[in-house]
């Protein structure tokens, strides 16, 4: 049987070996059997694709990207589904980490962290302390940068380098090449973290200016499609499709109501705490994770009933103060953006809602844009919309005007109204 070699794990390692070690690691970490089966199915597809290519010697990351491109060209039904894309990309990421480092690091703030060499670990600690004391970034920014730098240090350590003194431009180039499965915006953020680290090391006299200049900025053109805008009847169908007789359904229904009625961001929903709900005042008050600004919003009777139903009859017993918890043990808070975005994608598919045929973002944030669109249609002043959405300035809110297509049509000029002296 022909195989594909994955470069990086102490030389050339067969893809089948990488897959076997990964499955052993999943079993050791006691992942649910359904997760292990789903992961194994993705691996079989990838290995079949590798065999079809005649045993070409290529890294796992490059192989995975070629597989995804082939799926897009063929229009595979499995890849068209958001869940199919997410599962395959996750499998490729994990396999790449195993090929490079011999293991993979669990995601999320509750996951145990792989140990770094002492010198690299101390450097990361110094950078974190410097960020907290001098850079004045939001906590979420510091955490994201620390996560990206840790991944880079783990890669460096896998190459036998135990301190920043051994880092050179070749290591950077190889690391960036290993991150090819990432989306462009994610790569942009990761390189931004590394540039911040290099400036810190330069200030400490630990690296040269030439090495800092090597880590160049990577800018993504702002050509992403606008979020899809939901019709009222589609929002109703989305909510009606939730099975509220189960604990998961009670939780998901409350999450969707927070997004549809209040326009909350996914991060704010995940971080919503019990003390943020002021029952006697029918309000929700919290500090936004993105802007750091305080936000107070009225709570409708429907939303209040949904939250009470979940807290009393769906939420697992826990000392955690976050409102929304995982439905399966361990009963920890939802820890990443995909956990709430998956909720919306799941019920949109169940309800059979077809959004804009043009390429558009259809995640949880689209419900926030839909709320803004309805407020604009109702003639709500821009300042009021900014207050509801928690924007610090009206300039941020003005970008939402782009989605009010019907209003733009009303004020559009006909050809006969256009002056002919424009040329």
Asked if 247 and 315 count as a contact pair (C-beta separation under 8 A), the reply is: yes
Question: Which residue in 45, 97, 44 sits closest to 71, CA to CA?
Answer: 45
Q: Is residue 347 a contact partner of residue 242, using CB atoms and an 8 Å limit? A: yes
Q: Is 8 left (phi over 0), alpha (psi -120 to 50) or beta?
A: left
12-14 vs 277-278, strand pairing mode:
unpaired
Q: What is the pLDDT of residue 53?
A: 75
User: Which pLDDT belongs to residue 398?
Assistant: 63
Looking at beta carbons, which pairs linking 217-224 to residues 24 or more positions away fall under 8 Å?
217/191, 217/192, 218/184, 218/187, 218/188, 218/191, 219/188, 220/184, 220/185, 220/188, 224/361
pTM confidence score: 0.57
Rounded Cα gap, residues 69 and 181, in angstroms = 11
pLDDT at site 423: 35
Q: What is the largest CA-CA distance in the chain?
A: 74
pLDDT reported for residue 401: 59
Q: 295 forms bridges with which residues in the sheet?
A: 286
Q: What Rg do the C-alpha atoms of the chain give, in angstroms?
A: 24
Whole-number pLDDT of residue 336? 63
Instruction: Give the chain's residues under pLDDT 70.
Output: 1-13, 54-58, 72, 74-85, 105-114, 180-183, 217-228, 336-338, 355-362, 392-423
> What does the alpha-carbon distance between residue 301 and residue 269 come to, in Å, rounded to a whole number?
18
Q: What is the DSSP string of 223-284?
A: -PPPBP---HHHHHHHHHTS-TTSHHHHHHHHHHHHHHHH---HHHHHH-BGGGEEGGGTEE
pLDDT at position 337, please?
56
**Which residues are catalytically annotated?**
265, 290, 365, 368, 391, 400
User: Which tokens belong to 11?
Assistant: 């030389």
**DSSP letter (8 states) at residue 361:** B
Taking the C-alpha atoms of residue 79 and residue 206, their distance in angstroms, rounded to an integer, is 45
| Lookup: tokens for 335 | 């820890």
Is the separation of the CB atoms in 133 and 127 below 8 Å? no
Distance CA 306, CA 299 (A): 11
Which DSSP string corresponds to 321-354?
-BS-B-SSSS--B--SHHHHHHHHHHHHHHHT--
Q: What is the CATH number of domain 232-410?
A: 1.10.443.10
In this structure, are residues 135 and 110 in contact, taking their beta carbons and an 8 Å threshold? no
| Dist CA 28 CA 20 (whole Å) | 12
> 248, 339 in Cβ contact below 8 A?
no
Buried b (16+ CB within 10 A) or exposed e, 150-187: bbbbbbbbbbebbebeebeeebbeebbebbebbeeeeb
The tens digit of pLDDT for each residue in 173-212 reads 888 877 765 667 777 788 888 889 999 999 999 988 888 8
What backbone torsions phi and psi does residue 276 show, to the nearest 5 degrees?
A: -80, -15
Find out whether 299 and 249 touch, Cβ atoms under 8 Å: no
pLDDT of residue 266: 86
Supply the DSSP string of 72-86, one letter for each residue.
HHHT-HHHHSHHHHH
Nearest partner of 257 among 306, 298, 327, 297, judged by Cα:
306
Q: Domain residue spans in the chain?
A: 5-101, 118-214, 232-410
Q: Which CATH number is associated with domain 118-214?
A: 1.10.150.130
What pLDDT score was predicted for residue 242? Answer: 92
């Amino acid at each position: 049987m022909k195989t594909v070699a994955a470069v990086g794990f102490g030389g050339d390692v067969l893809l089948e070996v990488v897959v076997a070690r990964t499955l052993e690691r999943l079993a050791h970490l006691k992942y649910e059997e359904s997760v292990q089966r789903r992961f194994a199915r993705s691996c079989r597809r990838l290995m079949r694709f590798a065999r079809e290519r005649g045993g070409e010697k290529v890294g796992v990351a490059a192989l995975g990207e070629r597989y995804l491109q082939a799926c897009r060209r063929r229009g595979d039904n499995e890849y068209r589904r958001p869940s199919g894309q997410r599962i395959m990309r996750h499998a490729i990421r994990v396999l790449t980490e195993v090929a490079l480092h011999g293991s993979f690091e669990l995601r999320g703030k509750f996951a145990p962290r792989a140990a770094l060499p002492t010198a690299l670990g101390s450097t990361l600690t110094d950078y974190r302390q410097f960020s907290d004391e001098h850079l004045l970034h939001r906590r979420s920014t510091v955490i994201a940068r620390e996560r990206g730098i840790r991944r880079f240090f783990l890669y460096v350590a896998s190459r036998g380098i135990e301190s920043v003194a051994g880092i050179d431009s070749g290591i950077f180039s190889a690391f960036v090449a290993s991150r090819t499965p990432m989306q462009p915006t994610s790569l942009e953020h990761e390189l931004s973290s590394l540039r911040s680290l290099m400036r810190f090391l330069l200030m400490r006299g630990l690296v040269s200016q030439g090495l800092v200049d090597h880590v160049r900025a990577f800018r993504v053109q702002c050509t992403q499609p606008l979020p899809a805008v939901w019709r009222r009847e589609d929002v109703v169908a989305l909510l009606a499709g939730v099975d509220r007789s189960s604990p998961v359904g009670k939780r998901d229904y409350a999450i969707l109501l927070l997004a549809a009625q209040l326009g909350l961001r996914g991060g704010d929903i995940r971080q919503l705490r019990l003390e943020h709900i002021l029952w006697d005042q029918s309000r929700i008050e919290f500090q936004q994770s993105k802007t750091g600004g305080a936000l107070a919003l009225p709570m409708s009777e429907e939303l209040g009933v949904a939250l009470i139903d979940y807290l009393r009859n769906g939420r697992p017993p826990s000392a955690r103060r976050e409102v929304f918890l995982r439905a399966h043990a361990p009963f920890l808070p939802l820890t990443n953006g995909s956990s709430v975005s998956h909720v919306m994608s799941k019920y949109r598919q169940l309800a059979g809602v077809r959004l804009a045929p043009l390429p558009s973002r259809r995640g949880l944030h689209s419900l926030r844009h839909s709320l803004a669109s309805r407020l604009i249609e109702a003639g709500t002043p821009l300042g009021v919309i900014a207050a509801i959405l928690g924007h610090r300035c009206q300039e941020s809110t003005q970008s939402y005007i782009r989605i009010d297509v019907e209003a733009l049509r009303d004020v559009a000029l006909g050809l006969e109204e256009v002056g002919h002296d424009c040329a």
